[in-house]
Amino acid sequence: MSKNVSIKYALDWTTVFYFVVLVLMGWISIYGASYDFDQASIFDFDQRAGKQFIWILTAIGIAGVLLLVDSKMYSIFAYVIYGAAILLLILTIFVAKDIKGSRSWLEIGPVSFQPAELAKMATALALSKFMSSYNYKLKNWKDLIPLGVIIFLPFSLIILQNETGSALVFVAFLLMLYREGMNGIVLLLGTFAIFLFIIVIRYSIIPIQIDHGSLGIVLAMSIILIVQAGYAFFFTKHQKESIILVLGAIGIALISYIINIWYHLNYDTVTIITIIASCIYWTVIEIMNRYKKYWFMILFSLISVAFSFSAYYLFDKVLEPHQQIRIKVLLSMEEDLNGAGYNVNQSKIAIGSGGFWGKGFLNGTQTKLKYVPEQDTDFIFCTVGEEHGFWGSTLVLFFYWLLLMRLLRIAERQRDSFSRVYAYCVTSILFFHLTINIGMVLGIMPVIGIPLPFFSYGGSSLWGFTILLFILLRLDAARLERMR
């Protein structure tokens, strides 16, 4: 009894409030999205909104149970839970029925759910446990390998279920790792890699001159050179040398252009030779000046070159046609309004037609008339955009921002690293879902089907996010208990 009372005081009610607000807004949006002209009640259990009501009630029940469990149990059983989740994922691959090519749903009686949703929580717990263990150091290679395994195992199993979207969520743990000491360069390099990838793919279709190499590669190589020169100019004493490099590169560009008038020259080759030459150039400077700051930059340049060339190969040969088209549509290389671009186009129409005030609750024509596919799950944000306009959408985003900021605050006030790491895991996962889902709906992220936390219809995802969040709240409440 005394424990219940203490939970009541120790619980972070602000987070609970944000949770309730988001879940309710989601529920109303689902009602709006699945509303048909002859449907009346939000509590009609044959309808999506009625079913979601049951999911909400059960989720609250689960949340209550999670709060009653002793906080130490989460840490003690972290690996057990992780192991169970892995087994469940393996089981799923063999047992699950094929639904549109994906084998990710387990059916237990009338209820079906996705173990992948639980795997996020389990992995978060396992990571927290491992990283809070005595003697653990992120910089230690020996520790990095098990860390990688913990993340990679569920990641690859979910890939095997053909749920690439859900698997990508595990990339989110990079944000947690950054907080826990991973070199920030990794995030920068990751961003740079995405940037290079987009440049190479986006401009690969544009030839500079016919049969003279692609604009994408030339641009990518130029960017690498600029990074070299910029680094040397701003972070070392070799300003003069960096200017020489830039002038030299421009010189090579002009000379190769002139040569091309008489003699066939491939610009791709020219740029690679230029990059290699620049690497030799910096090596010479390094040796002559006994200045040991360039080896990393040279390594970076060579890897970037390799990445740029493999990016195109990856895109062309490894990605499947439907994935290629998604990326092409996103990069405005193709307009395929009846095919891959249809969903996003209709979703933009839905949101864009909402205007400032929206069309009013249950008045959205795009969503009522089913122009937006999956409008109560992955594309649920369309309903908000169409019926409640700019102010409604902004309000929803504002609540997500409040929640994420609150979670960061909770994370930082933890006294033990288990809770802190877990808190960052939760924050990272929610942030990743939010970024990808809203970005997709707004047409600035590729179409990756992952739900909007607390909003999208579906028991699995609502339960998954609720469990994720309320374990954190339980751990946070324990912080005060221990203080007493």
Partner 1 sequence: MINDTLQNRRTVIAIIITVVIVIYILRLFSIQIIESRYKEGADSNAFFKKTQFPPRGLIYDRNHTLLVYNKPAYNIALIMREIRELDTLAFCKALNISKEYFIKRIAEIRDRKKNYGYSSYTPQLFMTQLGIEDIATIQQSMYKYPGFYIQNRTLREYAFPNAAHVLGSIGEVSQAKIESDSYYKQGDYTGRDGIEKTYEKQLRGVKGVEVLLRDAKGRIKGKYENGKEDVAPKAGENLNLTLDAQLQVLAEKLLKGKMGSVVAIEPSTGEILAMVSNPSFNPSILVGRQRSKNYMQLVRDPLKPLMNRATQAQYSPGSAFKPIQALVCQQMGGISANTLFSCSGPGSSPIKCTHSHGSPVSLLSAIEQSCNPYFWNAFKVTVEKNGYGEKNILFRTNYDEWADKMKSFGLGEKFTDGDIYEQSRGYIPTQKFYNKVYRAETGWRAITIRSLSIGQGEVLVTPLQLANSMAVIANNGYYITPHLNRCDSMRKKIHRCKVDKKYFPIVYEGMCRVFESGTARASRIEGLVMCGKTGTVENSHGDNHSIFVGFAPRENPKIAIAVVVENAGYGSLYAAPIFSLLVEQFIYRKIKRTELLNKTCVTVTNSNVKER
Q: Which of residues 48-77 bind partner 1 (CB under 8 A)?
A: none
Q: Which of residues 357-376 bind partner 1 (CB under 8 A)?
A: 365-366, 368-371
Q: How far is CA 14 from the centre of its chain?
A: 26
Which tokens is 142 given? 């020996």
Single out the residue of 252, 362, 404, 480 in contact with partner 1 (rule: CB under 8 A).
404
Single out the residue of 17, 79, 178, 233 in contact with partner 1 (rule: CB under 8 A).
178
Nearer to partner 1, 178 or 309 (CB): 178
Q: CB of 441 within 8 A of CB of 91?
A: no
Q: How far apart are CA 177 and CA 184, in angstroms?
A: 9
Q: Which of residues 153-172 bind partner 1 (CB under 8 A)?
A: none
Residue 134, interface with partner 1 (CB under 8 A)?
A: no
Single out the residue of 59, 169, 175, 219 in contact with partner 1 (rule: CB under 8 A).
175
Nearer to partner 1, 156 or 435 (CB): 435
Q: Which residues, in sequence order, are CB contacts of 433 under 8 Å at separation 6+?
A: 169, 450, 451, 452, 453
Q: Which of residues 29-48 bind partner 1 (CB under 8 A)?
A: 37
Q: CB of 113 within 8 A of CB of 460?
A: yes
Q: CB of 327 within 8 A of CB of 197?
A: no
Residue 311, interface with partner 1 (CB under 8 A)?
A: no
Q: How far is the CB of 414 from partner 1 (least distance, A)?
A: 9
Neighbours of 136 (CB within 10 A): 16
Q: How far is the CB of 179 from partner 1 (least distance, A)?
A: 5
Q: Which residues, in sequence order, are CB contacts of 394 under 8 Å at separation 6+?
A: none
Q: CB of 397 within 8 A of CB of 99?
A: no
Nearer to partner 1, 309 or 399 (CB): 399
Q: Which of residues 323-352 bind partner 1 (CB under 8 A)?
A: 338, 346, 348-352
Distances (CA, A) of 59 to 64, 88, 129, 469: 9, 21, 25, 11
Q: How far is the CB of 394 from partner 1 (least distance, A)?
A: 5
Q: Which residues, in sequence order, are CB contacts of 98 under 8 Å at separation 6+?
A: none
**Stretch in the footprint of partner 1 (CB under 8 A) among 91-99, 306-314, 324-332, 354-362:** 354-362
Query: Total residues contacting partner 1 (rule CB under 8 A)?
Result: 49
Residue 408, interface with partner 1 (CB under 8 A)?
A: yes
User: Counting Cβ atoms within 10 Å, is residue 246 exposed (0-12), middle (13-18) or buried (19+)?
Assistant: middle
Residue 452, interface with partner 1 (CB under 8 A)?
A: no
User: Counting Cβ atoms within 10 Å, is residue 455 exposed (0-12), middle (13-18) or buried (19+)?
Assistant: buried
Helix (H) or strand (E) holding 469: helix 459-483
Return the closest-CA partner of residue 82 out of 131, 177, 151: 151
**Stretch in the footprint of partner 1 (CB under 8 A) among 225-233, 284-292, 294-302, 411-419:** 411-419
Q: Which of residues 179-198 bind partner 1 (CB under 8 A)?
A: 179-181, 184
Q: Torsions phi, psi of 113, nearest 5? A: -145, 165
Q: Show the site string, 256-275: x = touches partner 1 by CB under 8 A, - = not.
A: --------------------
Single out the residue of 386, 387, 421, 471 in contact with partner 1 (rule: CB under 8 A).
386
Single out the residue of 85, 208, 218, 411 in contact with partner 1 (rule: CB under 8 A).
411
Contact set with partner 1 (CB under 8 A): 37, 175, 178-181, 184, 338, 346, 348-356, 365-366, 368-371, 385-386, 389-390, 393-394, 397, 400-401, 404-405, 408, 411-412, 415, 417, 420, 427, 431, 434-435, 438-439, 442, 444
